[in-house]
Structure 1
Amino acid sequence: MNDLEEIATLLAEPEPSAGAVARGRDRLQRRARTSRARRRAGWFVPSVALVAAGAAAAVVFATGAPANDVVPATGKEVLLMAAVSAERTPRDSGTYWHVTRQWLKSGGPTMESWTRRDGKRWTKGVPGDPPDAVVPAPAWKTLSLKGAKVSFEDLERLPTDPEALKAWIAERRGNESDMSASELRGDPTFTLLALITDLPTPAEVRSAAFRALATTPGVENAGAVEGGQHLRLPDPDGGKGVELVVDPEKARVSRANLVIVDDGDTAWSDGFISVTTEWTDQLPSVKKG
């Protein structure tokens, strides 16, 4: 376990001990002294700090291009820090889970959905929808995970341990026509991506999904970009590879080159797809096409 992983484990504890806090403070001070020395030498290293509530422990990691001996955070470290942030994100709520997707390269229409806890859904901009209209979605267009319908309650019952979550994914059975070859083999990659990207996943489960994804062989950090860190993962189906922009402080995936669509299939893009999610109590006026 390296230094950042050890601190990530420390921050994941609900109430760190006095000794743990002291060790975390010492690491932070040593990192801060090193960072100041590099800035005095003419180098600026942007960083992200995550501080445990009520504790003087924090993690600081370098991002962007290397400067002299400054090594950027690895892809694994970025995902671990996102897991820490997810675990400490206050639980939010609302009447509708609102997801907005925008294909950035093609400039196509923005696609939105609003899903109520009973599974009823409304969409706008989805292929087949009337222009500029919010319309009720067909019953089959609801939340999906690994080729099968999933409810808000199902998501809340998912394991919060990374290994247990991967085991659950391996055992889950959905509609085979809506699953990729890797999902049929039990590979967790696409399912984990769905849990951290656009599903209303509880904070503890999101944290477990980030930690599980951090164990993926070959995950790399391509560096700092607008909105976070540009991560690359091998495509478990042997394609061109998965690309994500992860904000580790907010535990959000702001952009990706794929999305898991309503029927459980995977939609790819040559560029990035912007994904934003939120809880809301407002449903736009439903229009007739």
Structure 2
Amino acid sequence: MDDLQLIRQTLDAPPPSARATFQARGRLDAAIGGSAPVSARRFPVRLRWSLSGGVVLAAVAGVVLATTAAHPEHADRGGTTQVLGDRSAQTILLAAATRAGADKTGKYWHVETIAVAGPQRVGTAPDQYNLVDRSATANWIARDPEDTSWTGTRDLGWRPDTEADQRAWSEAGSPKQWDLSVDGSVDGSPAGTRRLTMTAGKGQLSPVDSRTTYLQDLGGFDLTQIQQLPTNPSKLRALLLSRMAAAGLTAGSSGADTFLFGAVSQLLLDVPAPPAVRAAAFTVLAGIPGVDSVGTVKDADGRQGLGIEMNRTSPGGFVERHQLILDSSTYVIMGESFSGSQGAAAPIKHGESVVVAAEWTDQKPEPPAAS
């Protein structure tokens, strides 16, 4: 029995004629163009792209999106480095389901991510290079609704973006801070300048509103409802599709499969779901038509993992990609990215998140580390 036959028997997957179009049109558009709503969450303020293409503060749900304007030097850092033969997306995701189902719960669902925002051009022409700003967020979501949940943040400072930027920075004397001319005073810097520094900021830890709801693109689930989500993949998929239908997006319609891909990805990363529900969610992902394995890829920190991707091509030829990166040995999600490009051209905008931790734990909540 091949992987697809197994999936169809265990999941009641949609028929092969269902088209794979890009899901998180809303999520990607919000990350790339700011033109569509992003799932709300009562966790910290994040970065997103405004309509004008600049980075602005916004209340963004879930994993922090690292928003970076793409440029040719990004080729130094990422991309597919090899193809993994017969390791299909379905095989990888079913292995992830098995791994997730074997986990044990703890007091908190702990997700720690690093966002990379930029780039910011510094230096004097022609010896210029790009910097990116790194910030960390750690969410500690209590399994018991009566317990307090926490969120921690820390600015990790600026650093050269690509390997080429690292070389240019070294040749410039490896400065640790930069003063940029701006219209007014920013961050306590002298009026008319903004100071960028490599020094990490102070960590913060704050309680989270216990009334927080999750998966708001699907109408929202409170913590009790999350604990009661179906552990059967077919039933979980049916529930998610019913919520999508209530929001006006029915199974088989344009964008339904890719919306489902994004919603399930959010469930896996942002939601304190029990291990059996997470196993079912990975199985749902495996049964979505159009999900592809793209081989070994690198995240924003240069770590290698297995890329699982869902693409959408608009009538005008604009290609949007939503990618998950899984650890090749543990099958834990270690990163997520969004990109948009015109055909085969380099991405116009790119968003990444590095997942430092996504686990159940009894550890005491604390701010993200300074490194």
> What does residue range 172-183 of structure 1 map to in structure 2 within 5 Å?
172=243
For structure 1, list consecutive stretches of 5 or more residues without a partner in the other structure.
11-63, 259-268
SS in 2 for 1:103: strand
1:102 shift after superposition: 0.7
Counterpart pick for 1:169 among 240, 253, 257? 240
Counterpart pick for 1:90 among 83, 97, 103? 103
Asked if the contact 1:171–1:186 (Cα under 8 Å) also holds between the matched residues in 2, the reply is no
- Letter paired with 1:277: A
Counterpart pick for 2:278 among 181, 203, 206? 206
Distance 1:186 1:280, change over 3 A: same
**Alignment: residue pair count:** 210
Distance 1:183 1:114, change over 3 A: farther
1:244 shift after superposition: 1.0
Task: Report the counterpart of residue 145 of structure 1 in structure 2.
Answer: 215
Task: Report the counterpart of residue 24 of structure 1 in structure 2.
Answer: none
For structure 2, list consecutive stretches of 5 or more residues without a partner in the other structure.
11-80, 118-131, 156-200, 248-252, 298-302, 339-348
SS in 2 for 1:257: strand
Task: Report the counterpart of residue 246 of structure 1 in structure 2.
Answer: 326
1:271 shift after superposition: 4.3
Distance 1:283 1:65, change over 3 A: closer
> What does residue range 187-206 of structure 1 map to in structure 2 within 5 Å?
187-206=259-278
The structure with the greater share of residues assigned to strand is 2
- Letter paired with 2:85: V
Distance 1:209 1:185, change over 3 A: closer
In 1, distance between residues paired with 2:91 and 2:334?
A: 18
Asked if the contact 1:65–1:72 (Cα under 8 Å) also holds between the matched residues in 2, the reply is no
1:107 shift after superposition: 3.2
Work out whether 1:280 is the aligned partner of 2:362: yes
- Letter paired with 1:161: N
Work out the percentage of aligned pairs sharing the same amino acid.
23
Structure-2-length-normalised TM-score = 0.47
- Letter paired with 1:233: M
Asked if the contact 1:98–1:280 (Cα under 8 Å) also holds between the matched residues in 2, the reply is no
- Letter paired with 2:335: R
In 1, distance between residues paired with 2:246 and 2:313?
A: 19
Asked if the contact 2:313–2:320 (Cα under 8 Å) also holds between the matched residues in 1, the reply is no
Task: Report the counterpart of residue 2 of structure 1 in structure 2.
Answer: 2
In 2, distance between residues paired with 1:160 and 1:166?
A: 10
> What does residue range 262-273 of structure 1 map to in structure 2 within 5 Å?
270-273=350-353
Work out whether 1:65 is the aligned partner of 2:82: yes
Write out per-residue CA displacement over residues 215-263 of structure 1, whole angstroms, 9 at most, x where no aligned residue.
22221211124453111112599861111101364342110016xxxxx
1:123 shift after superposition: 2.1
The structure with the greater share of residues assigned to helix is 1
Distance 1:157 1:239, change over 3 A: farther
Asked if the contact 2:92–2:331 (Cα under 8 Å) also holds between the matched residues in 1, the reply is no
RMSD value, Cα? 4.0
SS in 1 for 2:103: coil
In 2, distance between residues paired with 1:6 and 1:188?
A: 20
In 1, distance between residues paired with 2:258 and 2:350?
A: 26
In 2, distance between residues paired with 1:156 and 1:249?
A: 28
Task: Report the counterpart of residue 150 of structure 2 in structure 1.
Answer: 122
In 2, distance between residues paired with 1:205 and 1:188?
A: 16
In 1, distance between residues paired with 2:140 and 2:267?
A: 17
SS in 1 for 2:135: coil
In 2, distance between residues paired with 1:232 and 1:184?
A: 15
In 2, distance between residues paired with 1:85 and 1:123?
A: 26
Work out whether 1:231 is the aligned partner of 2:308: yes
Asked if the contact 1:82–1:249 (Cα under 8 Å) also holds between the matched residues in 2, the reply is no
Distance 1:137 1:92, change over 3 A: closer
In 2, distance between residues paired with 1:182 and 1:151?
A: 28
- Letter paired with 2:293: N
- Letter paired with 2:105: D
| More relative contact order, 1 or 2 (CA 8 Å, 6+ apart) | 2
Counterpart pick for 2:138 among 90, 112, 119? 112
In 2, distance between residues paired with 1:257 and 1:158?
A: 26
In 2, distance between residues paired with 1:168 and 1:92?
A: 23
In 1, distance between residues paired with 2:213 and 2:2?
A: 37
Distance 1:171 1:3, change over 3 A: closer
Asked if the contact 1:243–1:257 (Cα under 8 Å) also holds between the matched residues in 2, the reply is yes
Asked if the contact 1:104–1:272 (Cα under 8 Å) also holds between the matched residues in 2, the reply is yes
In 1, distance between residues paired with 2:135 and 2:245?
A: 30
In 2, distance between residues paired with 1:175 and 1:167?
A: 12
Distance 1:182 1:203, change over 3 A: farther
